[in-house]
Chain A
Amino acid sequence: MTTLTPSPELAAALGATLVVMPAYNEEQAVSAVVAEVLAAVPGASCLVVSDGSTDATAERATDAGAIVLQLPFNLGVGGAMRAGFRYAVEHGFRYVVQVDADGQHNPRDVPTLVDALSEVDIVIGARFAGEGEYKASGPRAWAMKLLAFTMSRIARTRLTDTTSGFRGAGPRAVELFAAHYPSEYLGDTVESLVLALRAGATVRQVPVAMRERAGGVPSQNAFRSTVYLMRALVALVISLTARPYPLASKDAPVPSRTEATR
C-alpha cells in the first residue's frame, strides 16, 4: 500500500500523471470512481473516455471533476485507450495509468504503479501476485495461465495476470501507444503488451487487490470463455508475427530517474 507522504520525485511524477478511464455506460459508478481517483492520487488529472455511452456517463464524470472525451460511437477499450494516450501526448503528460470505471481497481494503488514507472516502461497491476481474492476457473483460467506463461517468456520476467486492465505506461510507452495502440478485441491487453515488448519496452508486475464491481455484470460462462481462449491465442500469434514498431530512444526511464535523484 501507498505511503502517506510521497517522495518529491513521486509527487512530481504524479503531477505529470493522467489517469485514463475507458467508460461505456457507467453512469452508476463513474462519479464515485473519479472522486476517489482525484482524492487518492494527489496532483494527477483524471480523463474519462466515454466510449459511445448512451447514458449520462459524460455528465457524471464532468461533474465529478474529470476531463471528459466523448467518442461519437463505441470503439472498444483499445480505441478508447488510444484516444487517452493521444490526449496525454498532446497535453504533455508523461505517465498514463489505466483504471476501470466500474470501480474494481483501487485508485490507492495508482501511486504504487507510477512509482514503479521510474524504472520500467510498463507496469501491470496483477490480481494474482499475492494480494486480492480474485479467482477465475475453467477455460478462462486455463487461457489466463497459458497467456501468462507465454507472456512471461517473451517479457523475460514473471507475469501472472496479462489480461489485467489496471496498468501504467511511462513516457516511452505513452508515445508508442499514442501512435500504435491496437484496437482489436483483446488488443488492449495481450496485443498491446506484445507490441511494447517487441519494441524493446520493459515490463514489471505489481500486486494489487481487486474489488467488487460497483456496476455491471461480469461475463463468465463456459462457451464464452472458450471463445475468449481461442481469440486470445490468435491475437497473441498475430501480434508475435507482426512487424515491430521502434521505441523512442530518448526519455529512457532509468536515466530520467538518476537525473531526478541527482
Chain B
Amino acid sequence: MTTTAYVFGIVSSGLVVVAVFELLRRRQVRERHAVWWVIASLFALVISIFPSLLEWLAKVVGVAAPINLGFFVTIVILFLLSVQHGAEFTTLEDKTRALAEQTAFLRQRVESLERRLDGGSAQAENQQRDQADPGTDGEAHDARVHPYAGTEYQDHDKPHHEAH
C-alpha cells in the first residue's frame, strides 16, 4: 500500500467520524439513531490507521482475503441500519395513526357541540333518532354527545337494566 493510499484512507474515515459527531453535536441526529453510524465510522478510522488489524482479524476468523471481512462487516452494519429504520417507521406510523384517530374524535365532538349550540340542525338530528328509537333515545343520545357529563357509561348498563 502506498503512503498516499494510507493517508487518503485515514483522512476520509476521519471526515466521516467528524461528520457523524458534528450531526450529533448539533442535535440533528439523535444518539439512538446514530449508534450504528458511530460504530461504523470508528471501525473505518481504526482500520485505516492500523490496516494490519484487519489482516490479523481476518486470520483469526478464517477469512482468506482481509478486504472481504471489511466488506462483510460493512454490509452487516448497513443491514442493521435499514432494519432499525424499518422499525422506527412502524413506530412513527402507529403514532400518526393514533393522532389521526384523536383528531377525528375531537372533530366529531366539536361538531356535535356546535350543532347543539346551533339549535335547528341539532333538533333535526334528535327527531331522526326519535323516529328510530322513541323509548331510550334522550338519555342515550345525551350520553354520547356529552361523554364527560357523568352519564358517560349509561349504555354499559342498559342491557342489564332492561333485563331486571
Which residues of A have CB within 8 Å of B152?
91-92
Beta-carbon contact of B104 and A71 below 8 Å: yes
Beta-carbon contact of B159 and A94 below 8 Å: yes
Interface residues on A, range: 35 or more
A9 to B160, CA, bound (A): 9
A28 at the interface (CB under 8 A from B): no
A155 at the interface (CB under 8 A from B): no
A125 to B139, CA, bound (A): 31
For B104, the closest partner residue in chain A by CB is A69
Q: Which residue of A12, A13, A72 is within 8 Å of B104 (Cβ)?
A: A72
- Among B1-9, B81-89, B127-135, the stretch in contact with A: B127-135
Which residues of A have CB within 8 Å of B158?
12, 15-16
A9 to B158, CA, bound (A): 11
B108 at the interface (CB under 8 A from A): yes
Beta-carbon contact of A71 and B133 below 8 Å: no
B-contacting residues, A33-72, CB 8 Å: 38-39, 42-45, 49, 62, 65, 67-72
A237 to B105, CA, bound (A): 34
- A75-B100 contact in complex given A16-B159, A69-B105, A92-B156, C-beta closer than 8 Å: yes
Closest CB-CB distance, A205 to chain B, in whole Å?
Answer: 24
- A262-B163 contact in complex given A70-B104, A92-B143, C-beta closer than 8 Å: yes
For A46, the closest partner residue in chain B by CB is B132
A5 to B144, CA, bound (A): 26
For A40, the closest partner residue in chain B by CB is B132
- Among A80-88, A146-154, A240-248, the stretch in contact with B: A80-88
Which residues of B have CB within 8 Å of A262?
163
Beta-carbon contact of B104 and A94 below 8 Å: no
Closest CB-CB distance, B94 to chain A, in whole Å?
Answer: 8
B-contacting residues, A203-262, CB 8 Å: 256, 259-262
B contacts with A, residue count (CB < 8 A)? 32
A73 to B97, CA, bound (A): 9
A227 to B159, CA, bound (A): 44
Q: Which residue of A42, A75, A92, A256 is within 8 Å of B133 (Cβ)?
A: A42
A199 at the interface (CB under 8 A from B): no
Which residues of A have CB within 8 Å of B160?
259-260
Which residues of B have CB within 8 Å of A13?
159
Beta-carbon contact of B159 and A69 below 8 Å: no
A104 at the interface (CB under 8 A from B): no
A260 to B154, CA, bound (A): 17
Beta-carbon contact of B105 and A94 below 8 Å: no
Which residues of B have CB within 8 Å of A68?
108, 111
Q: Which residue of A39, A75, A91, A259 is within 8 Å of B147 (Cβ)?
A: A91
Interface residues in chain B, defined as those with a beta carbon under 8 Å from any beta carbon in chain A: 97, 100-101, 103-105, 107-108, 111-112, 125, 128-129, 132-133, 135-136, 140, 143-144, 147, 152-156, 158-163
3 closest Cβ pairs, A-B complex:
A92-B155, A65-B128, A12-B159
